[in-house]
Structure 1
Amino acid sequence: MAPAAAGQGGWLCRAACQQLLFGLLVLSLFCDACKKVTFNVPSKLEAETLVGRVNLKECLKTTEFVSSSDPDFRILEDGSVYTTNTISLSSEKKTFTILLKDNQKHEEKKIHVNLQAHQKKTHKTRHARDTVLRRTKRRWAPIPSSMVENSLGPFPMQIQQVQSDTAQNYTIYYSASGPGIDEDPKGLFYIERDTGNIFATGPVDREQYPSFKIICYATTPNGYTPEIPLVHTIRIEDDNDNVPRFTQNPFTFVVPEHCKAGTIVGTVTAEDLDEPYTLHTSLRYRIVSQQPSSPRIFSVHHESGAISTLSPQLDREIVGAHTLLIEVRDMSGQPFGLCSTGTVSICVGDINDNAPYFPRPSYETQVHENTVNVEILRIPCLDKDEVNSPNWYCKFSIIKGNEDRHFDITTDRKTNEGILCVIKGLNYEASKIKVLEIAASNEIPYVVVPYSSPFAPGTCTVRVIVIDDDEGPTFSRPSIPINIDGCTKVGTVVGEYKAVDPETGNSEGICYRIAAGQCNWLAIDENSGQLRTARVLDRDEPAMLPRQCNVTVHAIDRSGKTGTGTVLVTVVPCNRNYPSLPERDFIMCRDRKPILLTAVDPDQSPYSAPFTFSIADRSMDAGWQTTRQDDQSVYLSTRNNIPFGIYKIPMTIGDSTGRQVTNMVTVNYCDCTTPSDCGVERQNGPVITLGVWAILAMILGSLLLLLILITLCGCYGTGAVRKHVTDDLANQNLIISNTEAPGEEVMDPNIIPLQAATVNISDHGVGMGTIGHEVKTGGQSFEVSKGGHQTLESVRGYGQPMEAGRYSYSEWQNFTHSRLGEESIRGHTLIKN
């Protein structure tokens, strides 16, 4: 028999060992139900020690709750009393109460337990030691029992015996409880009280009760339990009494047609209620028969039950379903094994291995011209694939003859027919017969399988005969666009919109009218179809926004039939303005920096920029040139070293359409550093003044000195230049050279430069003026008026600081050398006057 049940844990084993160490316990007495119970125990009890056993059922038939009033003791369901802690007993008795409850019947009972300590006798101790030494010979834990299910007996049939070694010293009574004894199925087993033999009273079905676990007890007549309750297992051995059965019947699988050999179709499974992992449940499968019987296409794996194909010859169009009869047998398929059969239904799934086709190669139909959105023909389409599947539905297309998009074809999903319709009116005069070529295909791609040919879509020809109808005039185009210049005058012809009679092919007898309610921008000639402006088309007028209008034109033939067309009128900007230069007067200084000319035009694109610029007077090309800066501007610059003066340059500007205008540009080419130097006003009359120093120079100086002073004081125009000269200015500016030849800047050593000249220029025109000189005492001044010429200050540079009383020789030479001869002549003229 097996060791104690797992539910009672290892503490039972420890209790048994402790019981042997303590020796043989004193007898415990069973008393009447629910009365006091007295146990004679050693003076010291270890934890988990069996104290004794109380008959609980004698006190309360059904006990749902058992508890102890003393936490040092634990009460099991069979009435066994164990210690939970180590307990030392004195000469006094230790008492506690066992509480029993039946919650359903609302009953409650109590059992009072007395523990009385006693002294062990010597022979008892020796016997205990002997018992410990003989522990290995005890038979209280035999191996599990077994019993073959469905045994034929004879009954009762002994299946095992349990014995306790304590029977050598005491009278032992054996008892048992659990399933098969006092629990369902009750009475199937019993144990002899005196011998411990276990008997079965009848056959057992293993599939219903594979095993039984009973609890065996060994007690003395007075109720003492020297052994721990034993959990003993009675195992029912399997008998092959169950036939294997398929988990479902029939099995249904689907496999695609023309699949490869070895494709898994599905797996059949069976169950056997006999003991697992034995020959009784070792199942094997085989195909008993298949329909149709030839050719043999399927096989089944004998262990797993997987069904697979043997060849790729499955064709749904030939055989759509196959039926297999399959056997399952236990005992690994041995002939003496139990078996049963099941049915497998295999449906062949369709693939698109058949191309659609037309039953006839050609069809013919009729339709009236100008008829739209009507059905003119139904074309049947055939396909051998599964009906109402994507492999069967036909998809039609017009592959030839529908270049003008007059026709459309759709599919009737119920009949799989092609519905041919006219969606744009046909013209009998243009074409009396239309020949269409129509192709059919499936909704999913065609699959090329063994023994099949490459896909070739089915085609047929449809002849559409157009029936002539008397129809109204038609315009060559349903609508024409016309762009009208906003500057166009009233009554200007802006286009022509004519219609023709489809019957005659000409425009004779057709009159034209503009439909009522149209914008009043255009008028049409009733006979010729010429379009003229009916009002001034000012695109900036709010009433004409958004500058577009659709004019509907009717063409009416002699029979009163009407054709309609549309004129799309757009008013575009007009070229009303010329481009111009807002700024035309400029000053150019001696650095000859180019002048930027920018043109403007109030018109909008395309009548404005980009502009073109050119000099109208070709004789000025030698001195002036233009360089483009952007679409609206150019730079005006000089080509050569032209003389200073005022130049009038005619500049021609053209817009993007070529419309040109000439503007006169005035350039004052001035001897200045900045344009502000040319802005001083001139004197209005010739003014000649001689200062005191000039008169004294003429009296005391020599003619040479006089000529020098006249040279210094000469100028052009009507302005006045004043210069202040000190007595020792000449000596301060003499240049002494000890070289064998003069330096680069020493051209005339007798020229004495002046100091601190102030130049005031007022230029009202280009011309020669008079010269004025003024010399003041206590200061030096020299004033010259000469329009458009250099001054001493311009030689030195405008705005630069000058060293008091000194000029370089090169400055002086640049100022006087070019004018020396001229001033000498003017000086003689002055003296004479």
Structure 2
Amino acid sequence: MAKGLQGFSWTMLLLLCAIQELGSWAVHTAAEGPGLGQPGDPALLVSGRVKRGWVWNQFFVVEEYTGTEPLYVGKIHSDSDEGDGSIKYTISGEGAGTIFLIDEITGDIHATERLDREQKTFYTLRAQARDRQTDQLLEPESEFIIKVQDINDSEPRFLEGPYIGSVAELSPVGTSVMQVMASDADDPTYGSSARVVYSVLEGEQHFTVDSKTGVIRTAVADLDRETQDRYEVVIRATDMAGQLGGLSGSTTVTIVVTDVNDNPPRFPQKMYQFSIVETAPVGTAIGRVKAEDSDVGENTDMTYQMKDEEGVEMFKVTTDSNTQEAVITVQKPLDYESKKVHTVVVEALNKFVDPRFVDLGTFRDQTIVRVSVLDVDEPPEFRPPSNLMEVQEDAQVGSVVGVVTALDPDTANHPVRYAIDRSTDTERIFDIDANTGAIVTGKVLDRETAGWHNITVLAMEADNHSQVSRASLRIRILDVNDNPPELATPYEAAVCEDAKPGQLIQTISVVDRDEPQGGHRFYFTLPPEATNSHHFSLLDIKDNTAAVHTQRVGFNRQEQDVYLLPILVVDSGPPPLSSTGTLTIRICGCDSNGAIQSCNSTAYAMSATLSPGALIALLVCVLILIVLVLLILTLKRHHKSHLTSEDDEDMRDNVIKYNDEGGGEQDTEAYDMSALRSLYDFSEIKGGDGGGGLGEGGPSGNPASERHALPQWVQSPDLDFSVFRDYICRKVEQADEDLSVPPYDSFQTYAFEGSDSPVLSLSSINTWSSSSEQDFSYLGAWGPRFRQLAALYAGRRGEEDSEES
């Protein structure tokens, strides 16, 4: 084939060269004379002859020349050339001197190299005609183009491969699959070298290709993915429009057949068998079945359902989304004794159905599932399942409350024994007959103590106590009238001395621990011993309450301040029960508005005159006063502590009062009293101007120097008590003028042990005749009053001492 192409190329080359020579000759003969003739030139129009300087036509060179001699391209010629060799022709530009050579005398141009149009389609050069002697340009320099002429040397190529397409199975004939395209590097404007046509080399039984566009289409309508899911189709592209001698190229196209849901699910078996114990709880999985689908992807998704009534009632089927299996579970408790084998129908359906194939057949399949129930040893069952019994509270011990019945559900039907779970009846109020199941009372019942009892009854096989069942039993204790009515509270009432007849004193209500079915109905009356009472009357209001009224004009609490009124209450039975309660009535003094002022009982008067809110308010006020007093005392002591020097010490904070019998002189041996006596200096008290002044300042001296100016209680016959009197008076005046010092609510007195004790003294503390002159300034405004009391007490003690003497 290569030799044929080479011969064809040479034939075309010779033909082109001949055409070129003929054109050059025609132009050269028509263009005689100097100058370049142009179409429309007036000279050409007048004489029919064009004079031009350069004479040549367009130059062509055939690509892929394989000859041994340089390839003649063409000739440049000037019409001024006389043929005597005086003109020298030269060229310059692309490839001049290398690819293209020119004969300087004749102007012939030859190509010395093999050219490729697919690499470069043309070359631009310039021609010069010079005087050989002077090298002067005889003609203006002119540009010309050498075109590389195409030959069919490039085959079509599929540049976008590899190609992969897809088409759905069962697609109709002519369904477009994909498009392929080949490109040819030859010149599409010259000849048919680049005109490509397509054809199928392999796979033409199933696919076709459009010769011009390269679109691949289905050739048949029975493509089945389940039979073959892909095809390898070879497509050929040929140039020269498919004529003989054209070049060609090919590519392989992979066509994938995609799935459609054209296959129904199918069970591999027509029957499946499973077994399960009868005690399996609801929700237990029995087994799994799976239908197969030859489709792929979501077309294999399916759902399952029960088709028969028995299967829907006893079992439940669900779909495992991961494995697409049907999971059969228990939906209702099984019983071997009732039915040993269950036969159900399970149906599989496609989840996604393609409507195009609905008419092709049913997209579902069915299978039979047999479930065998296995027998197990079951505990007894209570029948019937009633859990409520009733018994009256006055039932005798051993009375039958009710009977429970349990049977062995197994075929063997073992005997059943009964018992009571004692954790639910710790007090053993009830017993049960182990053989018959009769429940009897074990103790005396009392509805008022416990109206309901919840117990658990056990039923077990006689020879296998591990097979046990439990039943909760509620026992209601029915009420009988065994409790008399009683007054709701211990009633107490108050009535004014000036009360009028018919005045309401108290409304009486009662309580009854019994709960009769018809409700309570109580009757009120006065017992015979109170019927003749002319002081009070009792009125039954008929709504289970009664009212007590006064029946006389006025009362005298000096004669009788409390009346006890017995009240008889009777219920409606049966049998009727009664009790007597007492109403306490107090006679009180009232104001003009009828408000109680006081009764003979102080506690009752307080409760009658003061409401709970008033009592609370009074207590709050008292607490506030106590807090204020304590706060003021604290501030006062804090104020005095700043006035006291660190070296001084108040005797009142260091001497303890004691009321027991002293030891006389022995007390001085137990305590060193010299330290206390040294705190006071009588020279300060007695010093000054003799007018009762204290220290150097007299009555108006520095209070800080007078703070401890208390007398030492020395028994001396010449002691002048006027000193103490003046001192105390001055202190009292200071306390009365100091408004910041409140009165003290309590006080303590201190005294010193004297030199000895008077005869028949009961204490080692000095007598009150001297203590009456103490400093009571710390009592503030209460000082004068207490001083008087101290003096009075000292006088009485002196009289007593003289009488004893």
TM over 0.5: no
Return the structure number with greater helix share. 2
Q: Which has the higher contact order (CA 8 A, sep 6+)?
A: 1
Instruction: State TM-score, norm by structure 1.
Output: 0.39
User: Which of the pair has more CA radius of gyration?
Assistant: 2
Instruction: State TM-score, norm by structure 2.
Output: 0.40
